[in-house]
Amino acid sequence: MNCFHERVIAIFIMLHAPMIAVGQQAPAAPERPWEGIPRRQPGIPPQHFPAFVPDAQKIYTLPELVDVAERNNPETQVAWENAKARAADLGVSKASLYPTLAALALAQTDRTNIFFTPDYIRQTSGTFSPVLVLDYIIFDFGRRLQEVAISRSNLLSANFLFNDTHRKVIFQVMAAYYRVLNSKGQEDAQEANLKNAQTVQDAAEARLHEGLATLPDVLEARSASAQADYDLQAAIGATEIAHGDLATALGISPRSQFQVESIQNLTIPQDLTDTVETSIDRALAQRPDLMQQVEQLRAAGAEIKAAKTAYLPTLSFDGSGGLARTYAQQNLAPGVYSPTQETWDARLSLTWNLFDGFARENRLAKARADQKQAAAEVDAVRDQVENQVWSAYSTARTALRQQKAAAALLAAASESYDAALQSYNFGVRSQIDVVSAQRALAVARTADVSARTQLLSGIAALAFQTGDLLHAKGP
């Protein structure tokens, strides 16, 4: 007996019931840190910002430059897309809690020879049936809920990674910004040093013309002026390099021309407001990289629970219902169409996997090992955070003391230079004395600028290590 079967599926559409529960979502935009659980805004594509073109006449503040960097730096975009993908994973996990409904259109044809003594009768039949298929897992001992918990922890981990990327970008811009301020301050200091050296040289030239100084005195003054000009050119080159580094941190061309504030216009902190213990506690509470590791630990714990549920049975329901129309023909006689009929079937299934080649045992062992690894990583990051904050706090405190000492040194060196130059013009001090005072003033100016920027950089580093940069930055 020959038999031929053909089945064609014309339409297969999966429909998911709408979600009622609202969970964590990806960050709303790539240029801002994640601030908890924002409202969901479906259908909004990522924003693409045009290349930033700075205004050469405008003086940019640090918050403005940080905002530019967050918009243009590709690392924030990468972290944002990663968070969006994890948010989609969470949606996929939650979808498993709901039934699935499929619309099918089935067409079937069947030809066979049926034996009726003493002959075989060839029979041909065809059926067309549109149906709806429902599939729903009623109970699985929390397996799907643990998958949702894993996805939720992975999303939170991605969001904290997104915040950590912003933290690093902000600090990268701040560090480059303060290097520009330092090099520009050093350039201004060298210009002042050159003017002082030229003043001493002019005084020596005048005294030589009047016969009150010797040629070696003038040569010494000229040498000091030449050294000051040399130092100024080096400072100009350092400013250009620092400017290019800042432009790169902003995500723009190093050839872009823009201006920044002067180091003299910035408010210099007079003290550290918190103790080192308070700073460490705050870092442990808000550092995004530490929070990321904590979420990985939670995901590992949910993975263990999910692996344990694999040992338990699953209760599910599936069924279908629709309409059917059949055409039948025997021995090439005229065919007959049946009336349209209702069709349905329903099944309640209890599935219990008794043996799977020890796959469940290995999955559970892997989940437990991953949990121990995640716990060890949390401890390692916690220790690292404490050490980083301790070191940054000590550096900032040292920079604060150095800045106060440098300010006092500059004031003393300025008074010494003014007194030495005045005494030299009156003929009561030697050329060596005034040149030495001028060089001491140059060193003091350089030390004052360095101390100012080191203090600002140290406080920025402390805010970076405690995680305050994400909360202190203005819009």
Q: Which of 221, 84, 108 is nearest to 159 (CA)?
A: 84
What integer pLDDT is reported at residue 115 of this predicted model?
84
CB burial of residue 435 (10 Å; 0-12, 13-18, 19+): buried
Tokens read off for 370: 């991953």
**Residues paired with residue 7 on neighbouring β-strands, in sequence order:** 108
CB-based contact 237:186 (threshold 8 Å): no
Beta pairing, strands 3-16 & 119-139: unpaired
CA 443 remoteness from chain centre = 41
pLDDT digits (tens, 9 = 90+) for 319-355: 999 999 998 998 878 888 888 899 999 999 999 999 9
pTM for the model stands at 0.76
What is the rounded average pLDDT for all residues in the chain? Answer: 86
**100 with 189: CB under 8 angstroms?**
no
- Find, among 255, 166, 229, 140, the residue nearest to 467 by Cα: 166
Tell me the torsion sign for CA atoms 236, 241, 242, 247.
Answer: positive
- Is 153 within 8 Å of 295 (Cβ atoms)? yes
The residues with which 135 forms a beta bridge, in sequence order, are 100, 318
The b/e string for 224-245 (b: 16+ C-beta within 10 A; e otherwise) is bbeebbebbeebeebbeebbbb
Give the integer Cα–Cα distance in Å for 72 and 49: 7
**CA–CA separation, 93 vs 88, rounded Å?**
9
Residue matched to tokens 């999303």? 155
**DSSP H helical segments within 276-358, as ranges?**
276-286, 288-309
Low-confidence ranges of the chain (pLDDT < 50): 1-23, 37-45, 48-50, 474-475
pLDDT for residue 51: 64
> Can you say whether residue 14 is alpha, beta or left, with left for phi > 0 and alpha for psi between -120 and 50 degrees?
beta
Distance of CA 216 to the CA centre of its chain: 62
C-beta of residue 65 within 8 angstroms of C-beta of residue 177 = yes
Q: Is 285 helix (H, G, I), strand (E, B) or coil?
A: helix
pLDDT at 246: 92
pLDDT of residue 209: 83
Give the burial string for 306-326 (b: 16+ CB within 10 Å, else e).
Answer: bbbbbeeebebebebebebeb
Other beta carbons less than 10 A from residue 97's beta carbon: 15
Rounded-to-integer distance, Cα 229 and Cα 419, Å: 23
Phi, psi (rounded to 5 degrees) for 216: -60, -30
Give dist(CA 315, CA 310) in Å, integer: 13
Residue among 327, 309, 401, 299 nearest 364 (CA): 309
Tokens in use for 170? 């902000």
Alpha carbon of residue 382 to chain centroid: 19
Pairing state of beta strands 314-330 and 341-351? antiparallel
Q: How far apart are CA 166 and CA 52, in angstroms?
A: 18
